[in-house]
Structure 1
Amino acid sequence: MMSEDQEISLGQKYNAEILEEMPTYPDPVLEELVQRVGKKLASHSHRPGLDYHFTIVDSAQVNAFALPGGYIYITRGMLAYLNSEAELAAVLGHEIGHVTARHSVRQQSTSAVTGILGAVLAASTGIQGADSLTNLAGTAIVRGYGREHELEADRLGAEYLARSGYNPEAMLQVVSILKNQEAFETTVAKKEGREANVYHGLFSTHPDNDARFREVITAAKKYKTDGTSRIGRDSYLLRLDGLTFGDSEHGGVVRGNHFYHKDLDFSLAFPSGWKINNQTSRVIATPTAKDGLIQLTMDSPDKKVTPKQFMQQHLNLNNLRQGKTFNTNGLKGYTAVATGNTPWGQRRIRYVVVSRNNSLYIFAGTARSADQASKYDADILATAKSLHPLTKAEKKLAAGKKLDIIRAPKGATWASLARHSPITNYPEEQLRLLNDQYPTGEPGKSEMIKIVR
């Protein structure tokens, strides 16, 4: 078992790594709330002397996780679906429970608590090792620690909620929110004839009607303070006004199989039906079968080089084969194949580099099967050759969406509100999920609700 100093040092190291890949979300109002609620809960924990760090991550994923030494993260995607300060406290309390129980330390040795970025990427792409750079030993931190450790974090978190003046039953509400999202995704996947992407790291080990979980919540009520249990619904919702919903326009927006980047003024199309995962430093697209991938990164070399020179000098690809220059949409490019490391071991990789303005767009793609090495070659090339400046119409598509907190108009239904929503896919269901009224229920007269603009 590592010492507390070692644990803190490890947390500092991986905190820096996380923030490189997943930057913080700049919202002082929400930041103040998360810090205040988190610090209050931590002060009632079993390790009140630890220096806790609470960070809002600029990610549309619905998740929260903790690193060793008191580093706790919650995504803006998670914040969007919560509906009260008590629910926020439930999420943070659960993660503080992992820290106080030292789950990341107990489960993994110092040398093994690595690969946090790989875990984040694997969780979102469905392919372990999708970044090809880090190992996957950190998966437990992002996806959950298994049934017994998760239940222990629930027990501790529920106690901290009660001691801090919140109703521990807020944990049940958070689980309900996540279960509804899972049910919606399962329904949609069935309609679309694909595999459901139902990953949620937080509370993911709880089965429906979990008796042990309910016992933990009930037991925590003995710690309740004399004051009224705080809910903080409307005050929480007001703080969400203007929160980015879905992709951020500053990081690029995914719509269907298209990717639009407002700040960098470009658009491109990935293969139809592929899942597109937009990370801070890369975009990764994967087919339904998860037997291949296309990765897009960018670079701006100090010295002007051709796409071929960039492959040789900057990517250090000395074993290039089948090299060919091309022009697409007025842009110069070069493509070749080389052997390199992939999530499935050494494989043939198709590289394409396209020069635009002072930047180089680097596409790299591969297939899992060595016997079908060129399976996705045409898709990789087509994706690279689709790169072009945003058109007037595409500039509107590149704009991000925001939450708008309003009072429900008289007679409003989720169906009527959905008709005016910019959400393109299943707008009524999405609004219901945002407001915790899925699959049934309607907004009450003048009730404060979330819509998307």
Structure 2
Amino acid sequence: MKRYYRFGCALIVILLLAVIIYCAVNPVSGKREFMLLTESDEAALGAETDKEVVAQYGLYEDAQLQAYIEEIGLPMTKVTHRPNLNYSFKIVDTPVINAFAVPGGYVYFTRGILGYFNNEAELAGVLGHELGHVSARHTAQQYSRAQLAQLGLGVGMIFSEKFREYAGLAQFGVGLLFLRFSRDHERQSDDLGVEYSMKAGYDPEYMAEFFTTLERLHPESGQNGLEGWFSTHPNPTDRVAAVRNKKIEWQAKLPAKQLAVRRNEYLQHINGITFGDDPRQGYVEANSFYHPQLKFTFPLPSGWQLMNTPTQVQLVSPKEDAAILFSLDQARNPATAAQGFIQGASASVQSNDAITINGMSAQRVISDIQSQEELLRVLSYFIQKDGQVYVFHGLSGQALFANYNNDFSNTMGKFKNLSDPAKINVKPDKVMLKTVSAPSTLKGALLALGSAEEELEQIAILNGMQLSDRVEKGTLLKTITR
């Protein structure tokens, strides 16, 4: 017991020394703060994260729109508190409404959020907000605090056997503390967004208006697993009023600054942007998954949740105690792919058979894999199609495998080629600009432009307006074209 006590005291001393030694001056506040990541660490972490973001979610292929974002973003970086970083701006190909930044100057906009901006000032405000997270090193702060909390949790578990029973609860409490800090970070990033966008020549009033649009939308997470805005940006109290008050402060500091909005210029650049899910990347219809570009389909177990990313399709059972993973393998044939999986996962093989699936050669493997928590049983299919190997893994705890074997086998065994033109020749919805022909309310104008009654509220939010708002002849409005 004394040995544990001395060890615990030693850890506490190390903890205190870490707080004293690992301090850095924050570029925004000028204050010293606990920090475990150096700037070079941030750059390395950002570069690695960037690779994962691109692989996981994919980039929206529009060279002109990409150049436009850089044209607005790169000059703004020069007015931040960290102008010497090697900044990067990318558009993520997802309908989820969000923007985010990672250490090292990597900033991302989803095509979903770009569709909902209505002028350059809104874009600039959110861009300034994300640059604020980078400048104030918010991610690095969160990382450092998480490491400190983990060390503190370890000390607590040494001192108390009973504490181990509540370790999960303790970690959740730490998460709540970080949520509070995240709200503080959001407030600071809002303030910096006002500062940076005004210094770059944009009116931050429209940043406040876009936050109002977000509150009307309350965007959620997408099928590809990317979180929505409020999941990653906790909403500070009185956010809109605070942004407007901060604008007044900066107007006093920059009295001669001309502030731009540039509505039509922005709208012209996003005319034709994909809106909502892009069925060409895979879609669900009548309880089956279709991929028109790769030309395959397979049925889905009833009630299972699907997450579709550029690199993997994931299916999770209603009780979240089983899953099916589907992806491509780089192997030349099913047998080689199966052997690579067995070796890489250190799997204990129960059966390994060459089979045929709807005219395609395949390998079926049943194996056991020891996870950190339990022994998993896995049913795997490796299927050759058009020179590529497609892989299914159905997994659950060994005791539950019999309950899910039929679901696994039905999904994998009915994988087949897709040849139906109606399923292949699908197109995504697009945001298209139309011009108001006569003065009217927004509702009247949208009806005159051919929008359906049931879509009016959604399109009003898309335009950042209310249906009762007046619009003049010649006004550009966003509509949804199917």
* TM-score, normalisation: structure 1: 0.76
2:27 — aligned with what?
Answer: none
Amino acid at match of 1:35: E
1:348 is the counterpart of 2:381:
no
Amino acid at match of 2:393: A
Which of the numbers 239, 245, 264 marks the counterpart of 2:275?
245
Q: 1:372 to 1:400 in 2, by over 3 A?
A: same
* TM-score, normalisation: structure 2: 0.72
Which of the numbers 409, 421, 425 marks the counterpart of 1:381?
409
Within 1, Cα distance between the matches of 2:481 and 2:373? Answer: 40
2:425 — aligned with what?
Answer: 396
Within 2, Cα distance between the matches of 1:259 and 1:415? Answer: 37
1:359 is the counterpart of 2:388:
yes
1:311 is the counterpart of 2:341:
no
1:149 is the counterpart of 2:176:
no
1:233 — aligned with what?
Answer: 263
Q: 1:18 to 1:111 in 2, by over 3 A?
A: farther
Which runs of 5 or more structure 2 residues have no equivalent in the other structure? 1-34, 148-174, 222-226, 439-443
CA drift of 1:87 comes to 0.9
CA drift of 1:244 comes to 2.2
1:55 — aligned with what?
Answer: 90
Within 2, Cα distance between the matches of 1:101 and 1:377? Answer: 50
CA drift of 1:208 comes to 6.7
Within 2, Cα distance between the matches of 1:380 and 1:218? Answer: 60
**SS class of match (1:108):** helix
CA drift of 1:63 comes to 1.5
1:435 is the counterpart of 2:463:
yes
* Structure with the bigger percentage of helix: 2
Which of the numbers 111, 114, 123 marks the counterpart of 1:88?
123
CA drift of 1:93 comes to 0.5
Which of the numbers 151, 160, 168 marks the counterpart of 2:196?
160
Within 1, Cα distance between the matches of 2:409 and 2:352? Answer: 13
1:286 — aligned with what?
Answer: 316
Bigger Rg, which one: 2
Asked if 1 retains the 8 angstrom alpha-carbon contact of 2:342 and 2:349, the reply is: no
- Higher deviation after alignment, 230-239 or 401-410: 401-410
Q: 1:92 to 1:414 in 2, by over 3 A?
A: farther
Asked if 1 retains the 8 angstrom alpha-carbon contact of 2:434 and 2:449, the reply is: no
Within 2, Cα distance between the matches of 1:18 and 1:65? Answer: 11
1:121 — aligned with what?
Answer: none
Q: 1:432 to 1:324 in 2, by over 3 A?
A: farther
Asked if 1 retains the 8 angstrom alpha-carbon contact of 2:97 and 2:229, the reply is: no
CA drift of 1:209 comes to 6.4
CA drift of 1:95 comes to 0.7
Which of the numbers 399, 410, 413 marks the counterpart of 2:446?
413
1:104 — aligned with what?
Answer: 139
Within 2, Cα distance between the matches of 1:347 and 1:233? Answer: 55
2:4 — aligned with what?
Answer: none
Residues 122-164 of structure 1 deviation map (CA, whole Å, 9 limit, x = unaligned): xxxxxxxxxxxxxxxxx99xx9961111111111111111222
- Higher deviation after alignment, 275-284 or 149-158: 275-284
CA drift of 1:285 comes to 2.6
Which of the numbers 206, 209, 213 marks the counterpart of 2:236?
206
Q: 1:346 to 1:371 in 2, by over 3 A?
A: closer
Residues 164-186 of structure 1 deviation map (CA, whole Å, 9 limit, x = unaligned): 22122222222222222228x79
**SS class of match (1:204):** coil
CA drift of 1:67 comes to 1.4
1:448 is the counterpart of 2:462:
no
Q: 1:49 to 1:147 in 2, by over 3 A?
A: same
1:14 is the counterpart of 2:43:
no
**SS class of match (2:306):** strand
1:41 is the counterpart of 2:41:
no
Which of the numbers 174, 178, 196 marks the counterpart of 2:214?
178
Amino acid at match of 1:400: P
Residues 375-423 of structure 1 deviation map (CA, whole Å, 9 limit, x = unaligned): 44333322223422221211133x3333222224664436984449xxx
Amino acid at match of 2:236: H
Which of the numbers 112, 115, 124 marks the counterpart of 1:77?
112
**SS class of match (1:413):** helix
CA drift of 1:228 comes to 3.5
Amino acid at match of 1:310: A
Amino acid at match of 1:237: L
**SS class of match (1:51):** coil
Q: 1:144 to 1:285 in 2, by over 3 A?
A: farther
Within 2, Cα distance between the matches of 1:418 and 1:349? Answer: 49
| Alignment length (residue pairs) | 405
**SS class of match (1:320):** strand
Asked if 2 retains the 8 angstrom alpha-carbon contact of 1:162 and 1:223, the reply is: no
Within 2, Cα distance between the matches of 1:110 and 1:337? Answer: 43
Within 2, Cα distance between the matches of 1:395 and 1:283? Answer: 18
1:265 is the counterpart of 2:295:
yes
Q: 1:61 to 1:239 in 2, by over 3 A?
A: same
Asked if 2 retains the 8 angstrom alpha-carbon contact of 1:144 and 1:201, the reply is: no
Within 2, Cα distance between the matches of 1:436 and 1:428? Answer: 12
Asked if 2 retains the 8 angstrom alpha-carbon contact of 1:165 and 1:225, the reply is: no
Q: CA RMSD in A?
A: 3.7
Q: 1:400 to 1:315 in 2, by over 3 A?
A: farther
Within 1, Cα distance between the matches of 2:105 and 2:395? Answer: 38
**SS class of match (1:229):** coil
CA drift of 1:235 comes to 1.1
Asked if 2 retains the 8 angstrom alpha-carbon contact of 1:164 and 1:225, the reply is: no
1:135 — aligned with what?
Answer: none
Within 2, Cα distance between the matches of 1:386 and 1:331? Answer: 11
**SS class of match (1:41):** helix
CA drift of 1:53 comes to 1.4
Within 2, Cα distance between the matches of 1:440 and 1:335? Answer: 60
CA drift of 1:45 comes to 1.3
2:331 — aligned with what?
Answer: 301
CA drift of 1:240 comes to 0.8
Counting aligned pairs with the same residue, the percent is 29
Amino acid at match of 1:389: N
